[in-house]
Amino acid sequence: MLLKFRGSNQLVDATWLIVISTVVQTVVITVTLVIFVLQFRSQEKAIKEASYQGLMGRYNDFIHSLIEKPELARFLMDDPDGSGSEMDAAVYAHLLVAYGIIEEAYLLYRKHWIDEYTWQQWSAWLKSIAARPELRSIRSRTAGTFDSEFENYVSHLLKSTDESPKPSQKERLHVDSSLSQK
């Protein structure tokens, strides 16, 4: 099909006009899809950041609760007659809450919502808690109530803690005195 433009003696093949309009439409649709994908990724990142901020908010609430009401921890212990000390109850309750918070961080890490560096910070906190004997009690009493992969991670961590050599009191005092000199 040939078209003749007004005031011109040139004839233009209409096939080229159709091809050009199709190419332009394809480019516009492609650009629109790219913009859509970028917006979706931006929203996904915002959701991940909000999840992590929620975790940090819970951590802050946990720290505040250490100060406010340690006597409530007694209900979480196997201490029906109240013979345990308030300090034991508080330690148990707060370790249980910390365990749950670290599990949440682990789940966010597994979903790749927090990076390796950030997870290592949470893992370091878990390792310091793993040194406490109360964590073994929490681990055995709550088996099956937390994410199974997290429980396996903690079991492996506790096993490696058992196998690692403990510094003697003399070594700890040497480290403490060298730190105080700095």
Q: Domain extents for the chain?
A: 47-163
Neighbour-count burial for 131-141, b at 16+ CB within 10 Å, e otherwise? eeeebeebbee
Model confidence pLDDT, tens digit, residues 70-97 = 665 555 555 545 556 665 767 777 787 8
The answer to whether 45 and 101 have CB atoms below 8 angstroms apart is: no
Say what the pLDDT of residue 49 is: 83
Say what the pLDDT of residue 179 is: 40
Query: In a 10 Å sphere around its CB, with 0-12 CB exposed, 13-18 middle and 19+ buried, how is residue 46 labelled?
Result: exposed
Say what the pLDDT of residue 143 is: 86
Say what the pLDDT of residue 122 is: 94
Per run of 10 residues, the mean pLDDT along the chain (length 182 residues) is 56 76 94 93 88 80 67 54 62 80 91 92 91 82 86 90 58 43 44
pTM confidence score: 0.54
Q: What percent of the chain has pLDDT over 90?
A: 26
The answer to whether 145 and 100 have CB atoms below 8 angstroms apart is: no
Say what the pLDDT of residue 152 is: 93
